Each structure stands twice: as C-alpha cells, then as structure tokens.
C-alpha cells in the first residue's frame, strides 16, 4: 500500500455518511453506512484533516456510529479522558447533525478517512499492526498505540 493515498485513488471506496447525534449526548458523531465492513466494538484508525486518530465503533438502534476520535487507543477505550478530535473536526468544517460527509475506506476494516463532500484529501497511511503481536499485547493490558 502506498504511504500517501489520495481520496480519488481507484483503490479508495467512498461511502456517503452523515453526522448525527446518538444517545443523550449533544456532541456530533459519525453515522457509519451499513455497507462498511465493521462491527460493534471494533477499533479503527480514522483520518481527520491529515491526522490519523483511534476510534471505536459502537451500535445504537439505527446501526453503527463513531462517537469520537482520539489520540491513542487507550483514550478511544475511555473517551472521557481525552480530547474528542471528531468534535473538533466537525466544528472546524461546519458539520452538524444531519450534514453529509464522505467516508473513504483506505484499508477495509482498519483505516478510514473523513472529509467534506467534494473536497479531495490526501491521507498518510499507517501500516496495519501485526495481528499476532496485537493479540499478545492485548493480553498484557491496553496500549496507547
């Protein structure tokens, strides 16, 4: 996989998604389209404005959502401990409940990019961690990856 990947590259699949509100929070979250290969509890890398963050998918009555993007995996597990970069991105790009966004699938099930519709983005791709090493590390406790 190339180190940098533009959103208009043929290997990138783009999904139309929406910013939403989920649960009792007033903060924006990302409504993940049904076509995205992911499940409740999965951790993914979410690129926002050129930086990759850690995010956890969770399910609500309407499907999967990403409630936040954080600087490391530990913060994504315990979201009250860190800055929610998804909220910042929504504020900076004037995105609110019901607004459309484009979710680029960079590495199926692992790495996604979020952008304003019609705006080209170049993503700096991170290598997928070795599954066996990740599972060993999980046995010893949470990591900050």
CATH, residue 20? 2.40.330
Cα 75 to Cα 36, 44, 125, 142: the distances in Å are 23, 13, 21, 10
Using CB atoms within 10 Å of the CB of residue 44, give its burial: 0 to 12 exposed, 13 to 18 middle, 19+ buried.
Answer: buried
Residue 108 predicted with pLDDT over 80: yes
Confidence of residue 27 (pLDDT cuts 50, 70, 90): confident
CB atoms within 10 A of CB 6: 13
Identify whether 135 is part of a domain.
Answer: no
pLDDT in tens, 62-94: 899 999 999 999 999 987 888 999 999 999 999
Identify whether 91 is part of a domain.
Answer: yes
Domains in the chain: how many in total?
A: 1
Q: Which domain holds residue 51?
A: 3-125
Instruction: List all residues 6 or more positions away from 8 whose beta carbon is below 8 Å from its beta carbon.
Output: 120
Identify whether 108 is part of a domain.
Answer: yes
Residue 133 predicted with pLDDT over 70: no
Give the helix ranges, DSSP H, for the chain.
Answer: 73-77, 85-92, 131-139
Q: Quick one: which of 44, 72, 74 has its CA closest to 58? A: 44
Identify whether 140 is part of a domain.
Answer: no
Q: Distance between CA 56 and CA 39 in Å, rounded? A: 10
Identify whether 86 is part of a domain.
Answer: yes
CB 96 within 8 Å of CB 20: no
Identify whether 144 is part of a domain.
Answer: no
Identify whether 8 is part of a domain.
Answer: yes
């Amino acid at each position: 996989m190339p180190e940098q990947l533009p959103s208009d590259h043929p290997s990138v699949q783009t999904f139309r998604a929406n910013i939403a509100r989920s649960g009792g929070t007033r903060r924006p979250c990302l409504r993940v389209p049904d076509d995205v290969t992911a499940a409740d509890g999965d951790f993914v890398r979410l690129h926002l404005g050129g930086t990759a963050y850690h995010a956890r998918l969770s399910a609500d009555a309407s499907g999967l959502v990403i409630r936040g993007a954080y600087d490391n995996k530990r913060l994504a597990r315990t979201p009250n401990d860190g800055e929610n970069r998804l909220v910042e991105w929504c504020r900076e790009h004037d995105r609110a409940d019901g607004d459309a966004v484009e979710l680029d699938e960079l590495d199926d099930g692992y790495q996604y990019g979020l952008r304003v519709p019609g705006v080209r983005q170049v993503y700096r791709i991170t290598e997928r961690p070795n599954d066996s090493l990740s599972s060993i590390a999980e046995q010893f406790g949470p990591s900050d990856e």
